[in-house]
Structure 1
């Protein structure tokens, strides 16, 4: 048997392809199903089964589409009330995939109907377990995504599910979670890139703490999660539409300016310092990086048309793929090239200064300006620049009027959120300074 990992670093998730040399199963595929299809081609195997550990809240599943294009059985918990054709599976039920055997194990906590899937070797012994959002590496999946009214119940269930995995599986069994590599679906940060049941018995809070301590600490540590999560469960329950990853239609400078003036989402994908050095007035700067889709999705007005601005076709195509993974499909155009060439004749580009915390330390005592912290409230409360105001990035569009007039220095933890905030605040009459620096250097400011 072979287990191949498909990373989606922008969302902190993993999918898996399991094969016996002839046929394969895919666990928790993302919406861009060309990746597991390509991997199956490389392996020379045919996908016959697609398994879903749970109805995902952080991305649009590719399970339905992958089953459609391959003719595979789409296996979903028998307890989930979904609106599409599938093969229901219950706790303890085993499916044969070629020479492989995969058994469902009900592990509620991340969701009510969550399943883990145990892969058995040729002798029938458990060899690996695909834990979805249950047992993660040194953590567990968060338990508040279905509403606060379920959080306590699901947190207790999560504790018992992880204990169930540890009690029923040998310590040598390899653990393959879907979430936990930067995903907001993780209750707390995870550690490591691989693990076993035995290793988790030493480090996982659900296995090292008593039940009430685990429950209290997990709930106390739950931070805010992206707003787009509210749409994922609905889309995945109804059945996602086929994905469109084609290059959007090119728009000219006049059309681009009209869309900005009409208040549409015109998203500049260039590096944050390049955006600061010159950009179309009114455009939004979301540097294409591993943070791109999370924060654009968090701020996005759901269903609004988006025009992407990039330096190359590949940049635009990568952004479209990332957005498709969370169901942002209304991409109505793209403008590719040097930003000077994307402006109308005679149009002046906007720009603002980029600085460091050392610059802030040297200038703050002698000049009056506002320092805006765009980190989450819980981050700000753990340590902040003296005198700074805190408006988390995901609240900024609704609270822009609270930012004082005049010069504003904007920061976050690493510079990414601050760069988005700077682009949203930059308008004629405002003087923006982006602090593109690690917050670990903020101690220089007194």
Structure 2
């Protein structure tokens, strides 16, 4: 028996490779499939099945490309309707992988077609459960993500039944392998680990501790933040199909001279700069949006960038392919090239540049009492803001900055000091503000983590929100 978890950090996503007796199965693959093909070669196995736990909303699955490369059968559970050939498994149906068996457990709740896959070992005994988004470590899948015509309360009721009849009845030793880990927006508050056991979850997971359906429904539907805006786009792509990644790469990885890059800038095009936030702040092509590869790149790209607009790239030389792949993971097939030689080529050509002024928190502390036009803009999530923020700061969640109406209230005479928790999101925010023509701003280095340590800055909480 061979089981490997393949974890994609910037998506908090876990795929699985299972092999036995010359055969293999892949569960919930991401769009770039080379790792699965490499594993198959190393293990000297043939990929027989590709199992999908549900229609993923937070990334584009690699099921179509992997099936085309291997001839493997794509398997979904009951109720799945797709725009491409799949095998629809029945609840309880079993699939052989060498000496192992995968049994389908239909577990609607997160979505209607959601399934878990129970792995039975060579002796037919339960070994592990691949839970998709039905059960996480310390949490369960949110029931409000675009599944049929059911409301979140109805789906939560189905999830309660699935957990109690299909999952809590399994032996305590069974390993839990979920599709996501900490940071994923597919649950409310996932635990720090990427695997667990049924016993541990029954003892510690708030959702499995609930014994009454009404209490469970209230627990899993309360305090749900709005899902990222790209979720319905990705769910639709996974359901209907998509272009082969190789074709996307060939279209996207086109080197553009400075002259051609400038020509494209004259059209309705978005410039995405994926360099490190601090490097971007020191200088960039005017009008660029920065989303650095060092952070939760794919999630922020999906949340902030338009899917119907042409994108051209500025990257650190050598990171062009990585950038295109990570964009494709969340459904972006609209990249048409990158600046050859990167930002250095732009400077060498004598072209104009923009920059973001960064200040330390002590400078902010000195400016607050003396500048009546100073406005602190906190781009963290509302819950982060409520837990502690600079007195009188405006909370403008980065996710909400795609709506120009949210930027319309800033006056030309205001001096904006922008911060997030540590500095990654605030540079994104500054680049978006500048793209909208708002240039009288400064980025506060180190974000709230450093601001709260500055004695000259008053910090307050929103206690009515926290209670």
Give the shorter-chain TM-score range.
over 0.9
Query: Which of 317, 328, 331 is the equivalent residue of 2:335?
Result: 331
Matched, 1:404 2:411: yes
Match of 2:143 in 1: 143
Tell me the TM-score normalized by structure 1. 0.94
* Matches of 2:44 and 2:362, distance apart in 1: 55
* Number of positions where the alignment pairs a residue of Structure 1 with one of Structure 2: 445
Q: What are the within-5 Å matches in structure 2 for residues 366-385 of structure 1?
A: 366-367=370-371, 368-385=373-390
Give the Å deviation of 1:49. 0.8
Q: Which runs of 5+ in 2 are unaligned?
A: 459-467
Q: What are the within-5 Å matches in structure 2 for residues 38-437 of structure 1?
A: 38-146=38-146, 150-210=151-211, 211-244=213-246, 245-246=249-250, 248-313=253-318, 315-343=319-347, 345-367=349-371, 368-397=373-402, 398=404, 399-405=406-412, 406-426=414-434, 430-437=439-446
- Per the alignment, in what secondary structure is the counterpart of residue 334 of structure 1? strand
Residues 127 and 207 (structure 1 numbering): CA distance in 2 closer, same or farther, change over 3 Å?
same
* Matches of 2:124 and 2:87, distance apart in 1: 23
Give the Å deviation of 1:404. 2.9
Cα-to-partner distance string for 1:50-72 (whole Å, 9 max, x where unaligned): 11110111111111221121111
* Matches of 1:228 and 1:81, distance apart in 2: 21
Q: Which runs of 5+ in 1 are unaligned?
A: none
Cα-to-partner distance string for 1:379-421 (whole Å, 9 max, x where unaligned): 3334322111122212223233223324211111222221101
Asked if structure 2 preserves the Cα contact closer than 8 Å seen for 1:291 and 1:416, the reply is: no
* Matches of 2:339 and 2:238, distance apart in 1: 31
Asked if structure 1 preserves the Cα contact closer than 8 Å seen for 2:314 and 2:342, the reply is: no
Give the Å deviation of 1:344. 7.5
* Matches of 1:262 and 1:375, distance apart in 2: 32
